[in-house]
Amino acid sequence: MKTKSEQATLVSRIGRIKYEIISESKGNGVQIKDLSFDTTELFKESKSIKVIFNIEVAKEALKNIQGKGYTSFYFNLQCRPDKGKAYSQADEYADKKNKNIGPDKICFVSQQTEKTIDAVIPYRFLEMKGGSHDLLFTISAYPAKFKKDTVESSNKILDYISNEPYTAIEARIRIVAPKLYKVVIEVEKFKLNTKVVDPTKFDFSMGGTGYPDLFWDLYCGEDFLYYSPVIKNSILYNKKTGSNPFYCTQDDIIKITVADYDNGPFNKQHDIIAIWKGKISELHNGKTDSLKLEPLEYMLLQTKIAE
């Protein structure tokens, strides 16, 4: 633990936001350094806080945890606002025990390395009111276990992440958070435009061709929010369905997709029919909007926006 006078010298402007190191523990052979915070861009189609940091993992650190049955380090990012909802990147893996983790997940390290890790936290995750806030960030390296895969694959099977960090660093920043809105999107109905789209091309059946099995889903930024019930063998979706409430800023990109549900022996991937992308400012609060999508005759929806 550093003294207050030492902490005061660790204030930096490497990124666009000044930060202060609050505490730092040393793990033999693992370093977390060169923190950077940025809120100036629309990251991944969301108004967000981008965190960048460098890590160094030495051979001796891996030997230390391998002696205890671990195979890797997992680098986790946590954020605790003064008023709002805490966020932990580890929540992404809470339901992924025995699941494949792709090689693109650079927050897992199983060999000696030096590299840069970046993470993006959308403001909607933190559920803060608009205005000035102090945020405490903790970046920790946890020992983790992967199972041996009997099938050759670039993926690994996650088994366990330790509750005890090997090393950690805490930093505090002050930001001005954008205003959040609480939103519900309800689709009343939509219909395929058969002059543009051939409805018989979507589904295969033993007796010939069939109409699509229609559904719609909803994303905010890159995050999946809602998946509607499916109406089978139809060109008309006439079941009013709505998302759960979610938070977003006025700049976040909303995506609504209309698709044909496919999960049979001949088709494994849903066929995308139409996509709408926009912001909540393009929708009318409490009124019916008709979205203009060429593959559809119409798509009627209502948006409920609360401040």
Q: Over its length of 307 residues, how does the chain's per-residue pLDDT go in tens digits?
A: 444 434 433 444 444 689 999 999 988 899 999 999 999 888 889 999 999 999 999 999 999 999 999 989 999 999 999 999 999 998 877 655 546 665 446 788 989 999 999 999 999 999 999 999 999 999 999 999 887 665 555 667 788 889 999 999 999 999 999 999 999 999 999 999 999 999 888 765 544 457 999 999 999 999 999 999 999 999 999 999 999 999 999 999 999 999 998 764 444 557 899 999 999 999 999 999 999 999 999 999 999 999 8
Neighbours of 118 (CB within 10 A): 13
65 secondary structure, DSSP code: H
State the CATH number of the domain containing residue 69: 2.70.50
Query: Of 177, 194, 222, which marks where a domain is finished?
Result: 177
Query: Of 152, 177, 202, which marks where a domain is finished?
Result: 177
Q: How many domains does the chain have?
A: 2
User: From CA 236, how far away is CA 98, in angstroms rounded?
Assistant: 40
CA atoms within 13 A on the CB side of 182: 7
Q: DSSP H helical segments within the chain, as ranges?
A: 4-8, 59-66, 123-126
Report, in angstroms and rounded to the nearest whole number, the Rg of the chain calculated over CA atoms: 24
One domain for residues 82 and 164? yes
Query: Of 177, 211, 229, which marks where a domain is finished?
Result: 177
Q: Which domain holds residue 258?
A: 181-306
Q: How many Å from the N-terminal Cα to the C-terminal Cα in the chain?
A: 42
